[in-house]
Amino acid sequence: MLQTILSDIGIDVIKLAFMMVAAFSTAVFHAVSGFAGALLLVIILAPVLGIKTAVPIVAVAVIISSVTRLWVFRHALDMTIFIPLITTALPGMVVGALLFVYLPVDMIALLLGGFLAVSVPGRRLLKNRGLKIGRVGFLIIGPVYGVISGATMGAGLLLAPFFLGAGLSGAQIVAMTAALGVTLNITKTIVFGASPLLTFPLFAAGLVMGLCTIPGAYAGRWVLKKTSLRIHTLLTEMVILVGAFYFISRAVFF
């Protein structure tokens, strides 16, 4: 029964096991480094499943991890920032997700690769630099973040300097990114579900992967106590740059 369902969507038992391990592993990275969990998962799965299958499945999977983090840090969520940001970001998320659905695969690969290529130096450049903006400022940057996050993965990196400039830190940033992640990936799942990209079996596979992120988060907490955060951050950046090379070469040469 299971084998028949999986074969209908082009996933065998071995691939499903690989996807579950990938979801667990990237959840560990996310818990340790604090960012790029969904991004790393797309990078790992895209060569196996294809870009237009990997992104919708990952969108489903990270709903569970985002809900978990939001529940844990719910008291730290600053609604005075979240509400103006999500008000203008949400329409942009819909637009970005629709762009993903209808753009050719090569264009999507180039978009993802380009975003990944600039994300690492961009994060380093803006690290610990708070770009001070008020609540109105979050209304302005919302559409830009929304479109980019709807069409790619890992766009939360763009918001880090703005959160720092608004005085957020630690648990507040975790709560904010978790709340945005819940909204973003539910929006993506709805848009993808209304298209041919996300069938019910693929949705179910995404849920299974999402469940694997829960123990991954606890394992990451243990790893964080045993290993240098700098090492994991450098390793994550290496994986992101390899992903950028893969997506750009996929768009240019294949």
Question: Tell me: the pLDDT tens digits for 166-219?
Answer: 877 767 877 888 899 899 999 999 999 898 888 888 888 889 899 998 887 777
End-to-end CA distance of the chain: 35
pLDDT at 82: 94
* Mean predicted confidence (pLDDT) in 20-48: 79
Average of per-residue pLDDT across 23-45: 77
Contacts of 96 (CB under 8 A, 6+ apart): 146, 147, 148, 149, 150, 151, 152
47 has a pLDDT exceeding 70: yes
How far is the C-alpha of 149 from the C-alpha of 11, rounded, in Å?
A: 27
Residue-wise pLDDT for 222-252, tens only, equals 766 666 656 656 766 776 777 778 778 877 7
Residue 98 has pLDDT above 90, yes or no: yes
Count of Cβ atoms closer than 10 Å to residue 128 Cβ: 7
Closest-CA residue to 153 (of 239, 69, 78): 239
CA-to-CA distance for 81 and 135, rounded, in angstroms? 6
Average confidence score pLDDT of the chain: 80
Q: How confident is the model at residue 87 (pLDDT cuts 50, 70, 90)?
A: very high
Count Cα neighbours of 197 within 13 Å in the Cβ-side half-sphere: 30
pLDDT value for 233: 63
Per mean pLDDT, which range of 12-16, 70-74, 201-205, 220-224 is the poorest? 220-224
The domain segmentation of the chain, as residue ranges, is 2-253
Query: Out of 24-28, 36-40, 43-47, 126-130, which region has the weakest mean confidence (pLDDT)?
Result: 126-130
Pairwise pLDDT comparison (142 vs 165), residue with the higher score? 142
The Cα–Cα gap between 148 and 87 comes to 15
Q: What is the pTM of this model?
A: 0.79
Instruction: Enumerate the H helices of 34-104 as residue ranges.
Output: 37-49, 51-72, 79-102
CA distance 173 to 166: 10
3 falls in which pLDDT band (50, 70, 90)? low
Q: What angle do CA 181, 101, 253 make, to 5 degrees?
A: 105
Q: Which of 68-82, 136-150, 157-171 has the lowest mean pLDDT?
A: 157-171
- The percentage of the chain sitting over the pLDDT mark of 90, rounded to a whole number, equals 18
Q: Look at residue 32 and tell me whether its pLDDT is greater than 70.
A: no
Q: What is the mean pLDDT of residues 33-38?
A: 66
**pLDDT, position 136:** 82
